[in-house]
Amino acid sequence: MMNQMYYQNACKFCLTTSVIFLLLPLSANAQTKLKEAEINNYMINQPNSNLLQIDDSVKKPISQNYLERIKMLIMRNQIEYPQPILNNYKQKSEQNIYLLIILKNRKVYVYKDNILQATYPVAIGKQGWETPTGKFTVINMVENPDWENPFNSSKEIIPPGLQNPLGERWIGFWTDGKDEIGFHGTYKRDSVGKAISHGCIRMYNEDVRKLYEIVKIGTPVIVIP
């Protein structure tokens, strides 16, 4: 009697184990298909799902092979779905620092938490080339910049050095898509304090180097008459 019960239980165990081993691959395959379907649905429903947004003006097509590799990476590593790159992304100042240019004073004032930190003399735009007033932000920064002569049809490039009108640093804060205005150094020290530029804010090289270390992309710039 005991032997009969033992053989029955053993048969049941073997049968159950066989069924489990048969179902496991099917379950795993079903989960993989479900995950792949979820990923496909996620990627298809993203805005501009076939475009990689680099910035507001540049878009690059993504190949189908690239999309397949992304899907495989997600499936293999079970990582969270990548978030879509946001359009109109803007960097914001987290320093609580802003710059105030008062044109009539020929000076730029550096504030942090509304407390004056530094003041530097500047040159501003001459008549007919006035420095624009308003609220702006720092949009680009360059150490030892080249200068392209906008008044020369040959687009002459002046490398860094004593002949370069931009001096040792460039901090841009305005553009119309073609021309730019910003802070820059100058080797013409006697021009600082005058209305003499084509709209830019000229500074002594030693001062613009200091300012360059204070600001970053996104720092607010306020210009008033």
Q: What is the pLDDT of residues 171-193, one digit of tens each?
A: 999 999 989 999 999 999 999 99
- Say if CB 70 and CB 79 are below 8 A apart: no
| Largest separation between any pair of C-alpha atoms in the chain | 115
pLDDT digits (tens, 9 = 90+) for 102-113: 999 999 999 999
pLDDT digits (tens, 9 = 90+) for 5-38: 555 555 555 555 554 555 455 455 555 555 555 5
Positions marked active-site: 184, 200
The per-residue pLDDT for 149 is 80
* 90 vs 162: which has the higher pLDDT: 162
Count of C-beta atoms within a 10 Å radius of residue 99: 25
Q: What is the model's pTM?
A: 0.59
- Across residues 147-168, what is the average pLDDT? 87
pLDDT confidence bin for 68, thresholds 50/70/90? low
Percent of the chain with pLDDT over 70: 58
Which residue from 183, 180, 174 is spatially nearest to 204, judged by alpha carbons?
183
Q: What is the dihedral of CA 46, 48, 51, 54, to 10 degrees?
A: -90
pLDDT confidence bin for 201, thresholds 50/70/90? very high
Q: How many CA atoms lie within 13 A of 44 on its CB side?
A: 6
- Across residues 119-128, what is the average pLDDT? 98
| pLDDT at residue 138 tops 70 | yes
